[in-house]
Each structure stands twice: as structure tokens, then as C-alpha cells.
Amino acid sequence: MLGQGFVSAAAIAASVLFILSLGGLSNQEKAKRAVWYGIVGMAVAVFFTAFGPGIGGYWWMIPMMLIGAGVGVYVAGKVDMTEMPQLVAALHSFVGLAAVFVAWSADLERRRVMAARAIDASMEEFSAFAALVATKAPDELMFLQVEVVLGIFIGAVTFTGSVIAFGKLAGKVDGKPRQLPGGHMLNAGAAALSLLMAILYLNGAGFWTLLVLAALAFFIGYHLIMGIGGADMPVVVSMLNSYSGWAAAAIGFTLSNDLLIVTGALVGSSGAILSYIMCKAMNRNFINVILGGFGGATAGEAAEMEGEQISIDAGGVASALNDADSVIIVPGYGMAVAQAQNAVSELTRKLRAAGKNVRFGIHPVAGRLPGHMNVLLAEAKVPYDIVLEMDEINDDFPTTDVVIVIGSNDIVNPAAEDDPNSPIAGMPVLKVWESKQVFVCKRGQGTGYSGIENPLFFKENTRMFYGDARSSIDSLLHLID
């Protein structure tokens, strides 16, 4: 068993490593080193926490840690990079459920301590956590009760919300916004009842209030995310990331674990900032996202589509690429689903070898997770310096010969600027239609994940390159001079 001094020093070291990790992830070239900072920091945190003072039952704990690590390695090995968003959502749910269980356990131990104090019983046979609770003064136990309430509510909302987000991202749950009859009033009613349960609990009511509180919060998390459309999923994932951080911080307060408090606060605050950035990139109000979602009712009739979608074959696309001097590729979730990033990387290599200026335009909410496209392109070894953010490349489309859009819909939709009744009206988009030619690589004529029509597909300078993204890009490779 390690002394408290070692544990405190480890907590500081791990906190610094986590901060360095977050800071490094803001830069593609430093991201790999930043991930290692996080890995080392977590290893230090787990080791010094597990073997710190007051911890026992190693013959139970060590096997569970090994089993958990084994499951983590197995799942990480099985999950493709294209499935990373749903994995992140699933992992958020574990944090939320852990917060609920810890809060329940904390209250049961608090009740045992209170009962022991009432009869002046010995605490020797109690658990290490009960002994920790026993050191608290009566007013400190009141704070513990507040921590329990917050841990249960935030954790339960995070758990069911993350499960539904996982289902929507994985295609197991319909991506369209759906709510039970009563809509937002059900959420408001459940929140009011949750507050009532918290008040009753803080005024001495039984453990049943925490069970009811958890059930209500489970419902809120489920119904809240079910009512959010698929196009808002990037914001939802970052929002749930924030929730999981605050849930972890609540656990830290309950367990008097400073490192868990710091780590939870880092995750919670960074997730909240990321959610704000995502909302700004979509010209969306955060509250509007949570209570609404794309695909819902609009202020009026959406504009009618004029023209027709004209298809083109691989030979036509290749001919335009061979004649072009400048090319911009705009990837989206369709590239991820088709696992076409390596084919796209090879096409990029061939075009650059032919002396063409090839770059990538990345919208902040492309894919199903912030940075999703950047990760896929980095995996396929696309050079970092030609992968540009929307603000860096949007002014270059008018002077670009060819734009290839791979599986994107909303982020290249001109209705965001032209149609005030569109669900995405006002959202900043990549203005690909301003280029000389646009080729849209798409499976079919459907509206895509969010269910919103895209006038880009009907424009005179746009041609639809139908088919699976990987097969379509592969068909171009042997046609490029």
C-alpha cells in the first residue's frame, strides 16, 4: 500500500499529463504525442488510486481490472476507425452508470454511518469508504447528500442519453427526432419531479427517493436524445462528453478523490466548450439543439427543388480531374461508412504526382464526431498541411476547377444561405457550388442522414457520381494520367 504523499504527488502528475493531452489534441501534428500523455496519465492515476491508503480487497479488484482491461483491448481492436463516434458514445454511458452506482453506494454507507453513530457502534467492520464517510462532520454529510443527488441525476441522464446516441450513430435507432405524446412537457414534468425527489431526500426521506430520481433521470436522458435529429449528433456527442465529465467530478467529490475531481472538470469544461464551438459552426443555439434538432418543423414551406440530378460515370469524372489544375475534396460521413479514406488518399497521391493542387475542405461538424474526418484522413496518411478547415478554404472555391464531395449533405447545402425556411438556414457551409465543377459521390438520390433536401444536387455545374464511395474512387485510380 502506498502512502498518501505518493498518491497526492501522482494526482498532480496525472493532472498535468491530462492538461498536456488536451492541449496537444488541438493540433494534428501533436495529437499522437498528446494521446500518449493521456495514456500515461491514466495509468498513473489508476495505479496510485488502486494501491493508495484505505484501499483493500485486492483479490477482487485486480481480477476485475484485468478483465476490464482485456475487454477494452478486445473492443478497441474490433472497432474500425469509422465506428469511433458510436464507441465514444458507448463509453460515455459507462461513466454515467458508474456515477449512479457510486452515488447509491455512498448514500447506503452514509446511512450505515449515521446508524452506527446513533448507537455508538464501532466502525472497524465497515468498508474503507464508510470509514471515510465517518470522518465527516454532520454538515459535511449534508454536502455529501447534495453530491449524491447531482451524481445520480447527471449520471443517469448521461447513461440513457449516451445509449440512445450510440443507437442513432450505429443505425440501430432511427436518426429522425422522435418524442412521446406531450413532447417537451414530459421532460419538464420529469425534471420537476426530480427536483421534488431531491428535496424530499435532503429533508430525510428514504432511499426510495434516490431510486425514483434515477428512474426519472433515465427517462429524461432517453427522451431528450430521442427528440434530437441525426444532423445534430456531433453536438450531442460533445454535450454527452461534457455530461460524463461532470458526472465523474461528482463521483470525485463523493469519494474525496482530488484527481477525479480535476479530471472530471477538465472533461466537463472541454466538452462544454466543444459543444459551443459545434453550435457556432452550425449557427445553432445550444438550448435549441437540446430541445429541437434538425428535421423538425420549420418556419414555412421549404423551397422547391428546380432542375434534375444529372449523373456521370467514372470516365467523365476522371477526364475532368485530368484537365483540372486545382482540386478540393470535401469528405463526409459517406466516406467513413464506405471506408474509402485509403482510396481517397491514393487518389490524392496520384493527382499531386501529376502536378495538381489538391486540398481537403473540412467542416467542423463533418461526420458524426468533431474531428472525425481529420482522424480518418490521418489514418490514411493524407498530409496534414493540405487538410484545411472551412474558414481557411471557403474563399478558394471560386478559383477551383473541380470539387469532389464524398458522402456529405448538410455541410455543402446552399439552402443554408438561400432558403430562410430550411432547417439549416444560417448554418455556415462549404460553398462548393461556387467552383467550376462539382462531383457528388453518393449512394443514391436519397436526402441523407438528416432528411434535408440539397439544391446543390440540382445545380448546372453539379454531376452525381452514384455508387459506393470506395468503389467509385477506386474506379478513378486507373483513369488518372
Asked if the model's pLDDT at residue 477 lies above 70, the reply is: yes
Is 410 part of the annotated catalytic residue set? yes
AA letter at 219: F
Q: Domain check: are 74 and 85 in the same one? A: no
What confidence score (pLDDT) does residue 296 get?
45
* 438-458 pLDDT, tens digit each: 999 988 766 655 667 889 999
Q: Domain check: are 148 and 255 in the same one? A: yes
List of residues 6+ apart from 168 with CB closer than 8 A: 174, 175, 225, 230, 233
* 453-463 pLDDT, tens digit each: 889 999 999 99
What confidence score (pLDDT) does residue 46 get?
85
Q: Domain check: are 277 and 322 in the same one? A: no
Average pLDDT, the chain: 84
Give the percent of the chain with pLDDT over 70: 86
Domain that holds residue 108: 81-291
List the grid coordinates of 106: 455512498
* 9-29 pLDDT, tens digit each: 888 899 899 999 888 877 777
Asked if the model's pLDDT at residue 295 lies above 50, the reply is: no
The enclosing domain of 436 has a CATH number of 3.40.50.1220
Q: Domain check: are 211 and 332 in the same one? A: no
Residue 309 domain flag: no
Asked if the model's pLDDT at residue 474 lies above 60, the reply is: yes
* 414-446 pLDDT, tens digit each: 988 888 877 777 888 999 999 999 999 988 766
What confidence score (pLDDT) does residue 139 get?
66
Distance from C-alpha of 177 to C-alpha of 143, rounded to nearest angstrom: 38
Residue 300 domain flag: no
Q: Are strands 326-331 and 402-406 parallel, antiparallel or unpaired?
A: parallel
Helical H runs in 119-207? Answer: 128-134, 138-170, 184-202
Residue 324 domain flag: yes
Asked if the model's pLDDT at residue 297 lies above 50, the reply is: no
Q: Domain check: are 227 and 342 in the same one? A: no
Q: Domain check: are 90 and 73 in the same one? A: no
Distance from C-alpha of 24 to C-alpha of 18, rounded to nearest angstrom: 10
What confidence score (pLDDT) does residue 324 get?
94
Confidence band for 289, pLDDT divided at 50, 70 and 90: low
What confidence score (pLDDT) does residue 464 get?
92
Confidence band for 370, pLDDT divided at 50, 70 and 90: confident
For 315-401, where are the E strands, in sequence order? 326-331, 357-362, 387-389
Residue 108 domain flag: yes
CA 297 to chain centre: 25
Confidence band for 60, pLDDT divided at 50, 70 and 90: confident
What confidence score (pLDDT) does residue 258 get?
82
Q: How many domains does the chain have?
A: 3
Is residue 384 within 8 A of residue 29, CB to CB? The reply is: yes
- Give the torsion through C-alpha atoms of 39, 42, 44, 48, to 10 deg: -160
What confidence score (pLDDT) does residue 123 get?
54
Asked if the model's pLDDT at residue 229 lies above 80, the reply is: no
Q: Which of 214, 229, 244 is nearest to 90 (CA)?
A: 244
List the grid coordinates of 365: 461538424
From 107, 232, 410, 419, the catalytic residue: 410
Q: Domain check: are 134 and 95 in the same one? A: yes
Residue 188 domain flag: yes
Q: Domain check: are 249 and 202 in the same one? A: yes
Per DSSP, the chain holds a count of helices (H) and strands (E) of 18, 6
Q: Domain check: are 44 and 92 in the same one? A: no
Q: Domain check: are 428 and 333 in the same one? A: yes
